[in-house]
């Protein structure tokens, strides 16, 4: 009994979508290495090995099962701090997911280990002197023949199910080796440096060395280049030169350098270096604020004395970034960390240049286009924030940046706070980075500044009701006029046969004028691909994805039909499989088709497209944006990427090609999003030199939202949306929880969905909507159903979620529902 009380147990978080933690015991030899926040290797089930994170230490033996031991400890120091654990707990509770799912989302891939258990026979093992069991001898004989095998493969080959203990025993006896038992994806980057074993100022020694090398011209060449590089490096004592650079400059071989090292002329040292190199850009000063900006800054600071969150509602091109820079300066001087969130990777290239021009290399960047190893370096830098090696005080990143190991956060800036890309849709946790960042800041007693020209209705409501401080910035920088907005009636132009392809005469006229004046044009179409679908002109057949209930999008560049939900592709049919006709035509248009047709209409213009298809590679965003900034592109065609905070000097015309697609979307946020997109993309016009022009093409020119955009009347849009939402019980007056049910058999899905809906109605009554078919009712062969639950703000959201979870679990536990998948989405968009 005393021994059990002294046994150390740890609760670990597994990278699995399973509720709760798992308890393991710690053997004596590992006790000194165990600490909350470290990663450990554990056996889960009979065969699987996982890297888990130590959550809690205790001496309470589980009553329901016998614990397994911790296999090994991976980290010298904890990689998860106390703030992160507290944040993970909140994410898991609020967004109704497991801690394991948060763990998977929170760590960069380079710190998440992949199970690649390969067993290798050790040829140096002396089997005659070892005491092996019959089982061990059998497995060893199999391995001798195959040499290298995966654990699962070895289990099948030997017919042994419980093979891991035997393999572990063989490992302990050094009979087998495990090749990358758990492969750590992060590998530090190393570089070799060289330094002279004597001073270059020692004239006598130098003459002696060159005399000894007179018959080795290649070695002399290397030495001469080394001395030259040292002198270019301000003649620093004991200066080092990277080996790679020296060999490149001297155009010499490794063997010649090895000879110099063997003669003790050079010493080589290999050490770990950063992948994210400093750019040596000179640090400048922040710009002087204009009078309106200064007034807004004063209001923000006063607001922070009363509230922890402020909303900066500033029109497009009002200079919000300059206010952010001033606030960041103050935090850096106070020794605090700053998190600057952006909704899209595309925005980082412009803003990072601006921030680095002021803050230099204290700015770190964190997003998915960086390699795993680079993201690990940023993560580790923040992890070591209290050491002398800490470098980054400002992190510029997208939504996953909220999971970084901040320890001294002073300010969070959430730019373009209205953007739906702050919301994680799949997989869990389905968190909103804007809301999560506000909670994260509260844990650090930090301030939050939300910024947008078109705030979300929820954020503006919080500001108007006093929860946040509201700060307005109503004039553009240097009083540049807002663009003139023209509405072009598509139906009218079609009746008069005045359309040039998909372009009204108004838009064509403005584009011609802009190009004649050497000005640039942006064309916005919120749909990628060449055409949304193909159709047989004779029988109406439309090609659909075989895995999803959605039409395939035609992509002309690779001549494929592509599903934008699962990625399935197929070739273009030559004839209709339904009627045999060869009259298969395209319907609708996407960015790819616009690009093609603009090239025909304006053959002299340089045209580029910016959408998901053209920006998949790491530097694609930056190349397109930089080229457009430099004036090398005349017309930029893009999806909503072109609407998000980009700042171009020479754009005079913006064309919104089809406003109806946005306005007609079946969602309670459709009008709000339509206003935001049109207002944001309109803001790209006439930002510097003169007033720009925006052409909105629509079949509904009198639509209230289009009128709001023309008048730049956010307040009117907000009031009308708020009234509708109050009447129909939507945010900000109600919280929403959506339940997504998935099953491969539609009849079982319908039965489970109807059962769950009836059970939920017993508690929530008319506030349960569903079961409903989503816009796409089948994805990757899974049929889908939605149930939406509305919860009044004054009700306990925690209690409501507990009821929803328990009710759902009861339905899942029914015998017919074992294959049913259920996901929760809190605050869905």
* Shared-domain flag, residues 446 and 518: no
What pLDDT does residue 3 have?
Answer: 45
* Shared-domain flag, residues 338 and 201: no
Would you say 94 and 826 are in contact if contact means Cβ atoms under 8 Å apart? yes
What whole-number distance in Å separates Cα of residue 652 and Cα of residue 426?
Answer: 38
Decide if pLDDT at 713 tops 60. yes
Q: Please state the rounded mean pLDDT for residues 675-682.
A: 89
What pLDDT does residue 184 have?
Answer: 52
* Shared-domain flag, residues 359 and 455: yes
* Shared-domain flag, residues 634 and 489: yes
* Shared-domain flag, residues 471 and 358: yes
β-bridge partners, 698: 489
Decide if pLDDT at 503 tops 90. yes
Would you say 1 and 45 are in contact if contact means Cβ atoms under 8 Å apart? no
What pLDDT does residue 302 have?
Answer: 96
Which of 179, 197, 221 is where one domain is finished?
179
What pLDDT does residue 307 have?
Answer: 96
* Shared-domain flag, residues 474 and 494: no
* Shared-domain flag, residues 659 and 682: yes
* Shared-domain flag, residues 107 and 204: no
Which of 112, 136, 164 is where one domain is finished?
112
Q: Has residue 700 been placed in a domain?
A: yes
Q: Has residue 569 been placed in a domain?
A: no
What pLDDT does residue 86 have?
Answer: 97
Q: Please state the rounded mean pLDDT for residues 437-443.
A: 97
What pLDDT does residue 380 have?
Answer: 87
* Shared-domain flag, residues 441 and 305: yes
What pLDDT does residue 2 have?
Answer: 39
- Tell me the per-residue pLDDT of 729-759, one tens digit each, with 9 for 90 and over: 999 999 999 999 999 999 999 999 999 999 9
Q: Has residue 12 been placed in a domain?
A: yes
Q: Please state the rounded mean pLDDT for residues 108-126.
A: 71
Percent of the chain at pLDDT > 70 equals 90
CB atoms within 10 A of CB 293: 21
Burial class (CB in 10 A: 0-12, 13-18, 19+), 269: exposed
What pLDDT does residue 488 have?
Answer: 96
- pLDDT-based confidence at 161, cuts 50/70/90? low
What pLDDT does residue 516 have?
Answer: 94
Number of structural domains (the chain) is 6
Decide if pLDDT at 631 tops 60. yes
What whole-number distance in Å separates Cα of residue 417 and Cα of residue 423?
Answer: 11
Which of 436, 461, 478 is where one domain is finished?
478
Q: Which domain holds residue 140?
A: 118-179
- Tell me the per-residue pLDDT of 724-736, one tens digit each, with 9 for 90 and over: 999 999 999 999 9
- Tell me the per-residue pLDDT of 267-293, one tens digit each, with 9 for 90 and over: 888 876 665 555 544 455 677 888 999
Q: Has residue 359 been placed in a domain?
A: yes
* Shared-domain flag, residues 164 and 200: no
Helix and strand element counts for the chain (H, E)? 26, 36
Q: Please state the rounded mean pLDDT for residues 711-734.
A: 95
Q: Please state the rounded mean pLDDT for residues 403-410.
A: 95
Strand, helix or coil at 685?
A: coil
Q: Please state the rounded mean pLDDT for residues 812-824.
A: 93
What pLDDT does residue 455 have?
Answer: 96
What pLDDT does residue 212 have?
Answer: 86
pTM score of the predicted model? 0.79
Mean pLDDT (the chain) is 87
What pLDDT does residue 279 have?
Answer: 53
Strand, helix or coil at 534?
A: strand
Decide if pLDDT at 180 tops 50. no
CA distances from 502 to 491, 591, 698 (A): 11, 11, 11
- Tell me the per-residue pLDDT of 326-380, one tens digit each, with 9 for 90 and over: 999 999 999 999 999 998 776 666 787 788 888 888 888 887 767 767 788 889 8
- Tell me the per-residue pLDDT of 220-265, one tens digit each, with 9 for 90 and over: 888 888 888 887 766 565 678 888 888 888 888 888 888 888 888 8
* Shared-domain flag, residues 365 and 445: yes
Strand, helix or coil at 51?
A: strand
What pLDDT does residue 1 have?
Answer: 38
* Shared-domain flag, residues 44 and 140: no
Q: Which residues contact 277 (CB under 8 A, 6 or more apart)?
A: none
Alpha helices in 664-813 (DSSP H): 670-682, 704-710, 714-728, 746-764, 797-812
Q: Please state the rounded mean pLDDT for residues 444-473.
A: 96
Q: Please state the rounded mean pLDDT for residues 91-115.
A: 86
What pLDDT does residue 386 have?
Answer: 65
Decide if pLDDT at 150 tops 80. no
CATH number of the domain residue 632 falls in? 3.40.50.300
CATH number of the domain residue 781 falls in? 3.30.70.600
């Amino acid at each position: 009994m005393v021994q059990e009380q002294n046994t150390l147990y740890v609760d670990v978080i597994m990278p699995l979508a399973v509720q709760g933690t798992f308890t393991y015991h710690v053997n004596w030899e590992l006790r000194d290495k165990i600490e909350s926040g470290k990663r450990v290797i554990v056996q889960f089930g009979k065969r699987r090995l996982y890297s888990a994170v130590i959550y809690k230490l205790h001496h309470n033996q589980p009553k329901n099962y016998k614990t397994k031991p911790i296999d090994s400890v991976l980290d010298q120091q904890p990689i998860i701090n106390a703030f992160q654990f507290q944040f993970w707990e909140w994410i898991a509770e609020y967004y109704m997911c497991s801690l394991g799912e948060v763990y998977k989302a929170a760590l960069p891939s380079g710190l998440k280990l992949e199970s690649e258990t390969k067993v290798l026979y050790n040829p140096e093992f002396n089997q005659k002197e070892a005491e092996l069991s019959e089982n061990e001898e059998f497995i060893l004989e199999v391995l001798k023949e195959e040499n290298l095998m995966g654990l699962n493969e070895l289990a099948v080959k030997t017919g042994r199910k419980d093979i891991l203990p035997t393999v572990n025993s063989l490992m302990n006896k050094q009979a087998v080796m495990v090749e990358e038992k758990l492969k750590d994806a992060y590998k530090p980057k190393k570089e070799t440096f060289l330094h002279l074993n004597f001073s270059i100022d020692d004239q006598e020694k130098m003459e002696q060395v060159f005399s000894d090398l007179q018959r080795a011209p290649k070695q002399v060449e290397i030495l001469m280049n080394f001395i030259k590089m040292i002198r270019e490096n301000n003649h620093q004592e004991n200066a080092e030169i990277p080996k790679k650079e020296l060999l490149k400059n001297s155009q010499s071989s490794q063997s010649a350098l090895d000879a110099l090292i063997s003669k003790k002329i050079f010493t080589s040292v290999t050490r770990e270096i950063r992948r994210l190199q400093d750019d040596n850009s000179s640090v400048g000063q922040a710009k002087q604020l204009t009078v309106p900006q200064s007034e807004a800054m004063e209001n923000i600071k006063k607001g922070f004395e009363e509230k922890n969150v402020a909303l900066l509602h500033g029109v497009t091109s009002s200079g919000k970034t300059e206010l952010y820079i001033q606030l960041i300066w103050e935090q850096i001087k106070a020794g605090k960390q700053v998190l600057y969130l952006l909704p899209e990777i595309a925005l980082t290239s412009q803003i990072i240049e601006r921030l680095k021009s002021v803050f230099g290399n204290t700015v770190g960047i964190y997003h998915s286009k960086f390699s795993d190893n680079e993201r690990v370096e940023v993560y580790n830098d923040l992890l070591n924030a209290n050491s002398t090696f800490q470098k980054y005080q400002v992190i510029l990143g997208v939504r996953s940046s909220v999971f970084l190991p901040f320890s001294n956060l002073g300010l969070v800036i959430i730019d373009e706070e209205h953007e739906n890309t702050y919301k994680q849709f799949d997989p869990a946790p389905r968190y909103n980075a804007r809301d999560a960042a506000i909670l994260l800041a509260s844990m650090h007693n930090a301030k939050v500044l939300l910024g947008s020209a078109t705030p979300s209705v929820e954020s503006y409501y919080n500001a108007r009701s006093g929860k946040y401080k509201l700060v307005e910035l109503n004039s553009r920088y240097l009083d540049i006029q807002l663009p003139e907005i023209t509405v072009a009636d598509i139906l009218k132009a079609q009746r008069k046969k005045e359309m040039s392809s998909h372009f009204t005469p108004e838009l064509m006229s403005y584009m011609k004028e802009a190009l004649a004046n050497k000005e640039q044009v942006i064309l916005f179409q919120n749909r990628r691909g060449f055409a949304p679908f193909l159709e047989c002109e004779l029988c109406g057949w439309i090609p659909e994805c075989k895995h999803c209930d959605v039409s395939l999008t035609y992509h002309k560049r690779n001549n494929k039909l592509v599903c934008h939900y699962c990625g399935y592709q197929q070739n273009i049919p030559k004839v209709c499989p339904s009627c045999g006709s060869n009259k298969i035509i395209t319907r609708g248009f996407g960015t790819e088709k616009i690009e093609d047709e603009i090239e025909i209409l304006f053959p002299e213009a340089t045209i580029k497209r910016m959408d998901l298809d053209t920006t998949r590679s790491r530097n694609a965003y930056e190349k397109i944006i930089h080229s457009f900034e430099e004036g090398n592109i005349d017309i930029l065609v893009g999806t909503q990427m072109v609407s998000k905070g980009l700042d171009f000097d020479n754009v005079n015309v913006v064309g919104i090609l089809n406003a109806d697609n946005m306005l007609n979307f079946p969602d309670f946020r459709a009008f709000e999003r339509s206003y935001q997109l049109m207002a944001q993309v309109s803001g790209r016009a006439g930002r510097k030199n003169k007033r720009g022009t925006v052409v909105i093409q629509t079949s509904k020119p009198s639509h209230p939202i289009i009128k709001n955009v023309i008048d730049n009347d956010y307040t009117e849009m907000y009031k009308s949306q708020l009234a509708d939402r109050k009447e129909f019980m939507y945010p900000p007056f109600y919280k929403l929880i959506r339940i997504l049910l998935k099953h491969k058999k539609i009849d079982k899905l319908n039965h489970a969905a109807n059962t769950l809906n009836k059970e939920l109605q017993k508690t929530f009554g008319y506030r349960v909507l569903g079961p409903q078919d989503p816009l796409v009712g089948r994805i990757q062969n899974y049929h889908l159903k939605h149930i939406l639950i509305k919860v009044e703000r004054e009700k306990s959201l925690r209690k409501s979620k507990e009821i929803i979870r328990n009710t759902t679990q009861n339905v899942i536990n029914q015998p017919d529902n074992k294959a049913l998948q259920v996901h929760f989405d809190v605050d869905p968009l």
